[in-house]
Amino acid sequence: MLQAAAEHESSSGSMTEYIVHHLHHLRWPHEDGFWTLNIDTLFFTFVLSALFCLLFIGTARRAKVENPGKLQSFIEMVVVFVDGLVKETFHGTSKLIAPLAITIFGLVFLFNFLDMLPVDMLPAAGHAAGLKYLRIVPTADLSTTLGMALCVFLLIQYFGLKHKGPKVFFGEMVSAPFHAHGLGAKIALAPANLLLRLIEEAVRPVSLSLRLFGNMYAGELIFILIAVMTLDATLSHFSTYLLGFGQFIAGFLWTAFHILVITLQAFIFMMLSVVYLSMAAERH
């Protein structure tokens, strides 16, 4: 009985170590702190960003009017779809919005898609190369999603200033949502309007980043939990085959569902960005 308890404790410990290990970033320097860099996140972000640019630029340069290839047809379909959504959502005039929307959707989708790779494939390759830790999904790192959301936040302010001018842009901060007609009433309501405007502006990057991060972190964690079902299992036990079958079914179902999740999250991040930019360009 003591031996069984010891085996159970050992198994629980190895599972905890496995989960913690897979949720730990390759960092520099190794101590936690504000200036600590997640090297694995930066590496995969750079690689996938370069892949996105090469894919779209290469397809654009090789584009043919007659007999386009499958890749060109697919990219054209995505471009037309996103362009249509932008025209319906953004009511101003800007040459930046459509390319920005396509870039956001493409990058976020590629970042998310790394979660579809087997849990131990790239980390095992990294371990063989001498890397102690390796997390491969950039959007499962809050630094990535918050950085992208802050870029959108800065663009929102830029669009507001560009389309409204400084007078209207800063005037709206103290005159809405509580409107007044007299000068005294406007001055009295200005602090409340400014406070609500600051809260509204701060909520946008926070909600954008946490929504994407939370969904991708949860998806990554579920894949890890599915993987530990057969951790330290041996072929001599009949339970291993039952757990293996359950692991296969759970992995298949979650993978099929997660394909929808990663696409939907990329679409939501793109659409909210376009909506926020459209709201910033409109006069209230």
pLDDT for 227-256, tens place per residue? Answer: 888 877 776 777 777 888 888 899 999 999
Q: Render pLDDT for 116-153 as a digit per residue (tens, 0 to 9).
A: 998 889 998 998 898 889 999 999 999 999 999 999 99
Write out the two tokens for 202.
Answer: 């701060």
Q: How confident is the model at residue 8 (pLDDT cuts 50, 70, 90)?
A: very low
Q: Is 193 a catalytic residue?
A: no
State the pLDDT at residue 12. 55
Please check whether residue 65 is in contact with residue 253, taking contact to mean a CB–CB distance below 8 angstroms: no
List 73, 207, 239, 283, catalytic entry: 207
pTM over the 0.85 mark: yes
> pLDDT averaged over the chain?
85
With a pLDDT cut of 90, the percent of the chain lying above it is 39
- Whether 7 has a pLDDT exceeding 70, the answer reads no
Q: Is 112 a catalytic residue?
A: no
State the pLDDT at residue 284. 58
Q: Is 49 a catalytic residue?
A: no
Q: Render pLDDT for 178-188 as a digit per residue (tens, 0 to 9).
A: 777 777 777 77
List 112, 193, 209, 215, catalytic entry: 215
Q: Which residue has the tokens 């842009």?
A: 169
